[in-house]
């Protein structure tokens, strides 16, 4: 297979819900070149494992994972659609030795009733758009009778017939180009390319410019090397994107809240109080379309309005060969959108599995993955992670059979309704918040465990070291020539760079309440088979043939997650590297300084309170690390308990009561999704947001508050 042998490189694929911000990571790699905080480590090979680690690692069986994957990818399991899949998950966790139950939440969302889109050309001819993918004989679940048409969760209803305008990626700067050129936007339909920024932000920008509806299309621009133009056959015959594939997804205003938009900041109950959802979701309708249907719609604009050359915006000109990417409108070229959504409050089901620890006072580790998928398949998103959690439960079950119990409680979460907006995880966290604030040690998230071979890790500084150490104990399939261990693949992919968390998956509610969290998984680079994100071809058939033949990458990811979880739950000392948390804060601080120097050259904002707070944090981190060594060496049970309680608690300091400006449930002062572009995570977001809103007084106040948050964390660490 030729694509497996090409040189490595990652495509600038877009971020958010279930997708990682690889473009943002690459910017960080470039920026930190020369002062990267993680140099390549020497890796012992073959790795040496303790007896318990061996039991866990050897328990993983790629054939079993294959069969769990097969189960999860052969039935409708959109959020709230599949109770029996929740039961199946519960039964398998129970069989493995976890005590599992189903927890129900009633959430508000919009469900599709009907949707249709049609192009009317000036010459009177018509093109009907297909809002569902082609059925393929080679991919059985694409012809299931209850397969789900393409739509946007949380989109508004509307019947709109209007001329339309191509708006590039749909960023504020793209809209500015059109306004500067005098293109009338009011009442027209926006046609935007997917990618670059989060889809909901494109819809919001269209709405803010007075437009009546929004159509989002997939363009081969984001497919790296693997395109038909480069000679690759489309799926199912080859690794390129199938032209009929459509990217579904939520268009909620994701940088403002997580979870149920009718209960922002508190748990959803069937008959409980609900707030107005209007501020949180678009008021105009939007639909996604395929490459195949985008071409004629773009072609009808050729030669009208602003040309791609005149627009002079990066990524404005996509990769279709026979389209000029003119803005239009073309007089008489119109779209008819008929889009009807049903506002509903309906149940969704989380599965929660528990093994109580022998030291309940030392708290709980939560490991989670969402179960709901946009399509019948969902082989990558999210059920590569779901299949792994079954195997992880069975691996721990092997130890439980021998009478083992972890020192600290382990909770597994199988979340429902992540795709609509992280509802299952957020409502569970909100239901148990006071208990979690006291007891949670960390949250480990695995969403898209495998959509390709390139390893991803993001999240809290104190967890990074144990996560990296465990990579070195996992053997990686040698198909890609990166080296024998998962560590080699990860280092090859990231050069040791680790991004902070935004809100792209179920870690958000944990992280923004000050609970340490990481997100792990693996994706394709620009020379790997194209993964059909949120489309029907994210299926078992694709995974088996292109994504991970033999389920070897699944096995490696599962072994890695299991080893991390085992050490956090069972080591005498929680395996935190708190000095690394300080280093990470310092890198974020330098990034903040650089961003402000570039973006606001005339600004004099004194950031030294943050720098001083990090220095105080570093001192506390060094001191507790020495105390921890001492406690371990002397086996002093009281001191061990003191250190563990500080390790568990210090990250709560990063959560600011009342939240970040304009978004009260995003509380972590260290990182949050970018407000305007939804593009991965911003560091010290409240400072940046205040400045971009022109509020320099508020920015100054947030420098103080961010510093105070770091000092709170340092104070908790103090012995």
Ligand X SMILES: *[C@@H]1O[C@H](CO)[C@@H](O)[C@H](O)[C@H]1NC(C)=O
Q: Which residues bind ligand X (CB under 6 A)?
A: 8, 71-72, 74-77, 82, 84-85, 99, 113, 157-159, 295, 312, 320-322, 338, 340, 342, 344, 346, 354, 356, 360, 481-482, 492, 495
Residues 15-34 that bind Zn ion (CB under 5 A): 18
Closer Cβ to ligand X, 73 or 505, answer by number? 73
Nearest residue (CB) to Zn ion, 97 versus 382? 382
Peptide bond into 310 cis (omega under 30): no
Identify what 76 binds: ligand X, Zn ion, none; CB under 5 to 8 Å per kind: ligand X
Q: Catalogue the E-assigned strands of 194-333.
A: 213-217, 249-250, 286-289
Q: How far is the CB of 424 from Zn ion (least distance, A)?
A: 11
Q: Which does 149 bind (CB under 5 to 8 A by kind): Zn ion, ligand X, none?
A: none
- From the list 354, 350, 427, the residue with the least C-alpha distance to 100 is 354
User: Between the CA of residue 269 and those of 86, 428, 603, what are the distances in Å?
Assistant: 19, 11, 47
Q: Which of Zn ion, ligand X, none lies near 230, with the C-beta cut-off 5 to 8 A by kind?
A: none
Q: Select from Zn ion, ligand X, none the partner in contact with residue 618, using the beta carbon and a kind-dependent cut-off of 5 to 8 Å.
A: none
Min separation Cβ 204 and Zn ion, Å = 22
Closest separation in Å from C-beta 456 to Zn ion: 13
Beta-bridge partner residues of 109? 344
- Who contacts 359 (Cβ-Cβ below 8 Å, separation ≥6)? 407, 408
Q: Copy the structure tokens of residue 110.
A: 């919009």
Which of Zn ion, ligand X, none binds 447 (CB below 5-8 Å, type-dependent)?
Zn ion
CB atoms within 10 A of CB 665: 20
Q: Residue 339: what are its φ and ψ, rounded to 5°?
A: -135, 115
CA distances from 146 to 74, 76, 137, 205 (A): 11, 7, 17, 33
HEC secondary structure over 376-390: CCCCCCCHHHHHHHH
Element counts in the chain: helices (H) and strands (E): 22, 16
Q: Which does 18 bind (CB under 5 to 8 A by kind): ligand X, Zn ion, none?
A: Zn ion
How far is residue 492's CA from residue 539's CA, in Å, rounded to a whole number?
A: 28
Q: Which stretch binds Zn ion (CB under 5 A): 13-21, 153-161, 427-435, 700-708?
A: 13-21
Which residue minimizes CB distance to Zn ion?
A: 18
Residues 106-125 as x/- pattern, contact with Zn ion by CB under 5 A: --------------------
Number of residues located near Zn ion, criterion CB under 5 A: 4
Question: Mask 442-481, x = binds Zn ion (CB under 5 A)?
Answer: -----x----------------------------------
Q: Which is nearer to Zn ion, 232 or 531 (CB)?
A: 531
Judged by CB, which is closer to ligand X: 8, or 701? 8
Residue 382, binding choice from Zn ion, ligand X, none, Cβ under 5 to 8 Å by partner class? Zn ion
For residue 127, the partner it binds in Zn ion, ligand X, none, with Cβ less than 5 to 8 A by kind, is: none
Could you give the angle at the alpha carbon of 652 between the alpha carbons of 651 and 654, nearest 5°?
Answer: 70
Tell me the C-alpha to C-alpha distance, in Å, between residue 676 and each of 180, 241, 394, 453, 560.
20, 29, 43, 31, 35
**What minimum distance in Å lies between the beta carbon of 214 and ligand X?**
16
Complex with ligand X: residue 294 or 655, whichever CB lies closer:
294
* CB 715 to ligand X: min, Å: 29
**Per CB under 5 A, which region of 14-22, 306-314, 389-397, 469-477 contacts Zn ion?**
14-22
Select the binding partner of residue 404 from ligand X, Zn ion, none (C-beta < 5 to 8 A, by kind): none
- Least distance to ligand X from the beta carbon of 338, Å? 5
CA-angle at 313, arms to 309 and 319, nearest 5°: 75
SS3 109: strand
Distant-in-sequence, close-in-space partners of 664: CB < 8 Å, separation ≥ 6: 264, 265, 658
**Residue 549 beta carbon to ligand X: minimum distance, rounded to whole angstroms:** 20
Residue 158 partner contact from Zn ion, ligand X, none using kind-dependent CB cut-offs of 5 to 8 Å: ligand X
Radius of gyration of the chain (CA): 25
As given in the structure block, the two tokens for residue 333 are 């070229």
Query: Which of 562, 565, 146, 552 has the alpha carbon at shortest distance from 384?
Result: 552
- d(Cα 247, Cα 242) in Å, to the nearest integer? 12
Residue 38 interacts, among Zn ion, ligand X, none and using kind-specific CB cut-offs from 5 to 8 Å, with none
CB of 372 to Zn ion, least distance (A): 8
Closest chain position to ligand X (CB): 75
Site for Zn ion in 334-393 (CB under 5 A): 381-382
- Residue 462: CB partners within 8 Å, gap ≥ 6? 516, 576, 577, 578, 580, 581, 647, 651
The reply to whether 79 sits near Zn ion by the rule CB under 5 A is no
Shortest reach from residue 475's CB to ligand X, in Å: 17
Give the interface with Zn ion as residue ranges (CB under 5 A). 18, 381-382, 447
């Amino acid at each position: 297979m030729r694509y497996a042998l090409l040189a490595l490189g990652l495509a600038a694929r877009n971020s958010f819900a279930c997708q990682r911000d690889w473009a943002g990571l690459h910017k960080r790699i470039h920026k930190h070149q020369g002062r990267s905080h993680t140099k390549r480590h020497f890796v012992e090979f073959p790795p040496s494992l303790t007896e318990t680690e061996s039991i866990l690692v050897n328990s993983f069986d790629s054939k079993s994972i294959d069969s769990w994957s097969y189960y999860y990818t052969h039935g409708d399991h959109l959020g709230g659609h599949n109770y029996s899949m929740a039961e199946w998950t519960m039964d398998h966790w129970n069989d493995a030795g976890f005590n599992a139950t189903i927890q129900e939440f009633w959430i508000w969302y919009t469900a599709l009733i009907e949707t249709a889109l049609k192009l009317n050309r000036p010459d009177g001819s018509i093109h009907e758009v297909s809002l569902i993918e082609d059925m393929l004989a080679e991919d059985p679940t694409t012809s299931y009778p209850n397969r789900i048409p393409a739509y946007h969760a949380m989109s508004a209803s509307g019947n709109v017939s209007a001329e339309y305008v191509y708006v590039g990626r749909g960023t504020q700067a793209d809209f500015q180009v059109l306004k500067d050129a005098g293109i009338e936007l009011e009442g027209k339909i926006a046609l935007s390319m997917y990618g670059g920024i989060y889809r909901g932000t494109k819809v919001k920008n269209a709405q803010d410019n007075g437009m009546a509806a929004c159509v989002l299309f997939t363009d081969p621009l984001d497919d790296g090397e693997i395109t038909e133009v480069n000679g690759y056959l489309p799926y199912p015959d080859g690794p390129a994107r199938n032209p009929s594939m459509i990217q579904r997804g939520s268009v909620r205003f994701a940088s403002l809240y997580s979870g149920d938009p009718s209960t922002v900041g508190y748990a959803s109950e069937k008959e409980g109080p609900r707030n107005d959802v209007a501020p949180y979701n678009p008021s105009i309708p939007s639909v996604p379309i395929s490459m195949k249907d985008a071409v004629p719609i773009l072609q009808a604009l050729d030669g009208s309005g602003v040309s791609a050359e005149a627009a002079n915006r990066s990524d404005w000109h996509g990769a279709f060969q026979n389209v000029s990417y003119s803005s239009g409108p073309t007089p008489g070229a119109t779209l008819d959108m008929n889009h009807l959504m049903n506002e509903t409050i309906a149940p969704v089901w989380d599965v929660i599995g528990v093994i109580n620890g022998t030291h309940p006072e030392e708290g709980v580790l939560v490991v989670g993955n969402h179960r709901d998928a946009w399509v019948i398949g969902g082989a990558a998103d999210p059920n590569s992670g779901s299949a792994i959690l079954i195997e992880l439960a069975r691996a721990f079950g092997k130890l439980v059979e021998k009478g083992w119990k972890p020192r600290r409680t382990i909770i597994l979460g199988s979340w429902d309704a992540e795709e609509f907006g992280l509802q299952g995880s957020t409502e569970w966290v909100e239901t148990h918040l006071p208990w979690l604030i006291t007891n949670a040690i960390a949250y480990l998230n695995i969403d898209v465990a495998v959509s390709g071979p390139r390893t991803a890790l993001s999240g809290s500084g104190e967890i990074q070291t144990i996560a990296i150490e465990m990579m070195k104990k996992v053997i990686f399939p040698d198909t890609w020539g990166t080296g024998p261990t998962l560590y080699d693949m990860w280092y090859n992919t990231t050069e040791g760079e680790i991004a902070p968390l935004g809100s792209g998956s179920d870690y958000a509610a944990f992280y923004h309440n000050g609970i340490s969290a990481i997100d792990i998984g693996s994706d394709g680079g620009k020379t790997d088979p194209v993964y059909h994100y949120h489309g029907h071809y994210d299926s078992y058939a694709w995974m088996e043939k292109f994504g991970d033949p033999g389920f070897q990458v699944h096995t490696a990811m599962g072994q890695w997650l299991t080893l991390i979880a085992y050490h956090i739950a069972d080591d005498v000392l929680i395996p935190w590297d708190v000095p690394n948390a300080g280093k990470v804060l310092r890198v974020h601080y330098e990034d903040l300084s650089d961003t402000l120097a570039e973006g606001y050259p005339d600004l004099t904002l004194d950031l030294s309170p943050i720098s001083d707070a990090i220095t105080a944090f570093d001192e506390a981190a060094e001191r507790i690390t020495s105390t921890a060594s001492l406690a371990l060496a002397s086996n002093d049970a009281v001191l061990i308990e003191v250190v563990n309680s500080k390790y568990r608690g210090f990250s709560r300091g990063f959560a600011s009561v009342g939240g970040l400006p304009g978004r009260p449930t995003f509380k972590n002062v260290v990182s949050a999704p970018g407000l305007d572009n939804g593009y991965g995570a911003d560091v010290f977001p409240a400072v940046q947001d205040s400045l971009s809103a022109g509020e320099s007084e508020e920015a100054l106040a947030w420098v103080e508050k961010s510093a105070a948050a770091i000092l709170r964390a340092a104070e908790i660490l103090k012995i």
